[in-house]
Structure 1
Amino acid sequence: MKNKAQKWTTKKKLCSILFDEVALTPHLTYVESQDEIRGFKDFGNNREFKFCDHALVFMLRGVCSKWRQPISFYFCEGTTAAVTVVQILKEVVTRVCESILIPVAVVCDQGSTFRTAINILKRETECKKNLNEQHYDGTVEIFNHELNVVYDPPHLLKGLRNNFLNKDMIFKGRIATWSDILSVYNADCQLGHTRMNKKLTDHHVYTEKMKKMKVSVAAQALSETTSGLLKYTSSFKTYVDGETSSVKLARGVPGPSRVRGSADPELTLSCPAGEQADSLALRWKTRLR
């Protein structure tokens, strides 16, 4: 890698260091060429005769180019201790810097061990900055390189969705709740084969059925299609009365006119100024068929 990077431009040498843990099935393998048995807990200079069930993997990825390169892996039992992660990360960053590559960021998920390790590095960097009377900007310094900390976007998306399930979100003075998505989903399901968002299922919106570890489930629940459906429904200032629950999409609408569609839900909406209720009802019946 070092010999190959010597011909690269400075822009191509910019890279980020990614690390994560992957689950393994405990298994022993005899490597004849090295006359050793693999499958035990192994951190390079520290090997224990305990079956490993996880691997801590480090990989480099170009920031301005699309190259990527796995550089090291370690066999571990369960989650790696935060202190061990710090030691390994320092060694990895040092080796990467010695190979004339330029690391600018570390990327990991929001696991408790990784967050603890990052906080340890941040405290060390902050103390060093304070001693030198320098401003601390939240980066971590390893081998005289300041590295930005970036949490994995897919895990951020899942974390946002998981918090949104039981907490309201305030944006520009407006409050959004998970019940808004539930309301639109239930109303959409009543349209049968004419549904607008057919990809949304019970596994996306109901907590007891949700697959919380799948990124695709969170992405589809918070997708642009769902956003468009919410915006489309709210633009009519309607609320839908089902058989078992009442879902209100707009409050305080004066002078409602009742329209019944072919899909059975009873829609209550206010007529825009200058528009007759009959023509508006006809449009709604056409949409609900």
Structure 2
Amino acid sequence: MVTMHDTSVSGATSDSSNAGGLKNSRHFITPGVSKPIFEAIKKKSIPARERLCVLLLDEIDLAPHLDYLPKEDYIIGFEDTGWSRNQLVADTALVFMLRSIYGNWKQPVAFAFHDYPLNQKTQIRFIKEIAKEAKQAGLNLIALVCTHCDHNVKAIDCLLEESKSAHTIDLDGHQVVPLLDPGSLLLVTRNLFCENNLQFVKDGISKLAQWQHLVQAHKIDSERSNYLAKITKSHLLPESMNLTKCVQTLSGTFAGFLNTIAGKTSLPVEATQTADLLFFLDKVLDSLNGTMEQDIHKPLRGPITELSPHSKFWSEAREVFKQMTLPGGDRGNSFAKWVRTFDAFEVIKEKILGLGYDSFPARSFNLEPLQNCFDLLSEQAGSTGCENRLTCKKFSVFYNLALRSKDMASRRATEPKCEPDGLNFLLTVEDLS
């Protein structure tokens, strides 16, 4: 551990005059809840409908490294929340972003450098501070989305207990629905499936899904039809954090191919049970990733309304995940987290329809906008699959550059892990000047 004297920074927000050793820094935005950003949002003309928003929070790995900034006489690379610093060398950046449910905007509003995992009290303080600033800026915070990691779940449970509620958190008067990111849950389910056979019950029938069926079918396809043109060997590797490849693998297209060749080639007829799991997971993602556009062939991809099929499907999906097991009967807590996510979407549906809106897109409640920013940050830093080159200094530079670049929000990494989110930053260069 690298040590230095603990340094305290007064105040709980980050602005150009309140950043400890960086108060004369060339960086406009420093760790903490960004006061300048919320001040700019207050001055922004935003339609009432587009003020309904979601708070996203996620982490990106950093390369532990200390840099001395001579002009500022400041060492960057230690744990820094904006209101305090200490001697721990940071290996993670936690970033908070607001995104509109109906509008096409997103906006980073806070970040911290920390030694993983972040202290729970600090994480909760960030959430409360951001909620307070969002309310003062005239935004209507509906939900909070994070990954399924244990420290996030514990922080949410702590806030729920504090609010004396099973499903909503009281944040400065806003009843906010905490939600686990569906994409993250799909990835962990995919990785569990890759390592284990999955036992599940569908339509009252017990079935067994086997990853080997996917590997075998892909081999058959590559030698014959190349029907699964988008699927490569990398899609079927054991550990994957690429959501795009995960979605392409656990798809209705792959499921249909399994059904077509099972029992008619070297692929055993039992592969139809694996196809049933893929068809199910494909519908799960459709139901939690839909847009405002109607799709008559796949209605779960459409908007959530009072009469849409989402609630009926979620009720059925809950039962499937409740009975899903790993070898030996282990149910795994990730399956229970799916149930928790369906419950949260029901509360969100009731909340938004109760505000007088007749529909909303499920796709507004995922972490893709943050992940797309992370992919671009890592690429700009020169990181590869074998080496992480994103340090605190590089993160700070690229973060500020992104906020000042007109097209940065829409730019994509060369090899993105998620689909495009189609959002722009709410604030422009002129708003922040």
Give me the identity figure in percent.
Answer: 28
- Aligned pair count reads 231
- Look up the SS of the partner of 1:37 in the other structure: strand
Q: Deviations over 1:8-37 (max 9, x none)?
A: 221111111111111111223344564422
Question: Could you tell me which residue of structure 2 aligns to residue 280 of structure 1?
Answer: none
1:94 and 2:132 equivalent? yes
| Paired residue type of 1:249 | E
Q: What's 2:59 paired with?
A: 21
Task: Report if the CA contact (8 A) 1:188-1:196 is conserved.
Answer: no
- Say which one has the larger Rg: 1
1:16-165 superposed matches below 5 A: 16-31=54-69, 34-126=72-164, 136=165, 138-164=167-193, 165=196
Q: Which range is displaced more, 103-112 or 190-199?
A: 190-199
- Structure 2 CA distance for partners of 1:33 and 1:102, relative to 1, 3 Å: farther
- Provide the rounded CA distance (Å) in 2 between the counterparts of 1:239 and 1:80: 53
Which residue is equivalent to 2:285? none
Selected match of 1:169 from 200, 204, 212: 200
**Could you tell me which amino acid in structure 1 is paired with residue 148 of structure 2?**
Q
> Does the CA contact (< 8 Å) of 2:53 and 2:139 recur in 1?
yes
Distance 2:189 2:75 in 1: 43
Tell me, in whole angstroms, the C-alpha distance in 2 between the residues paired with 1:44 and 1:211.
Answer: 35
Shift of 1:75: 0.8
- For residues 204 and 92 of structure 1, what CA distance do their matches in structure 2 show? 38
Distance 2:81 2:207 in 1: 46
In the alignment, residue 213 of structure 2 is paired with which amino acid? S
Contact 2:213 2:271 in 1 (8 A): no
> How far apart in 2 are the matches of 1:203 and 1:93?
40
- Correspondence for 2:228 among 197, 221, 227: 197
How far apart, CA to CA, are the structure 1 residues paired with 2:191 and 2:271?
25
TM-score computed with the length of structure 1 as normaliser: 0.71
The DSSP-based 3-state class of the residue aligned with 1:22 is strand
- State the AA in 1 paired with 2:175: E
Distance 1:68 1:101, change over 3 A: same
Aligned partner of 2:252 in structure 1 is 224
Are 1:186 and 2:216 counterparts? yes
Q: Please, which runs of 5 or more residues in structure 1 have no aligned partner?
A: 127-135, 252-289
User: In 1, are the aligned partners of 2:217 and 2:258 still within 8 Å (CA)?
Assistant: no
Assess, with a 3 A threshold, how the Cα gap between structure 1 residues 139 and 163 changes in structure 2: closer, same or farther: farther
Question: Structure 1 residues 163, 142: CA separation in 2 closer, same or farther (over 3 Å shift)?
Answer: same
Q: CA deviation at 1:7?
A: 2.1
CA distance 1:217–1:174, change in 2 (3 Å): farther
Aligned-residue offset at 1:250: 8.2
> CA offsets, 1:160-197, max 9 Å, x none?
32344432122222444332x53364245235142322
List gaps (5 residues or longer) in structure 2. Answer: 1-37, 273-433
Instruction: Answer yes or no: is the 8 Å Cα contact 1:184–1:229 preserved in 2.
Output: no
Calculate the TM-score normalised by the size of structure 2.
0.49
Question: Equivalent residue for 2:243?
Answer: 215
Distance 1:248 1:104, change over 3 A: same
The answer to whether the 8 A contact 2:160-2:166 is kept is: no
CA distance in 2, matches of 1:153, 1:248: 31
Which protein has greater RCO, CA pairs closer than 8 Å, 6+ apart? 2
Q: Which residue of 1 aligns with 2:35?
A: none
Question: Helix, strand or coil for the counterpart of 2:268?
Answer: strand
| Structure (1 or 2) with the greater strand fraction | 1
Q: Label 1:176 to 1:214 Cα distance change in 2 as closer, same or farther (>3 A).
A: farther
Q: Deviations over 1:232-262 (max 9, x none)?
A: 345xxx3545xxxx723389xxxxxxxxxxx
- Rounded to whole Å, the distance in 2 between the matches of 1:174 and 1:215 is 30
Deviation of 1:137 (Å) = 5.0
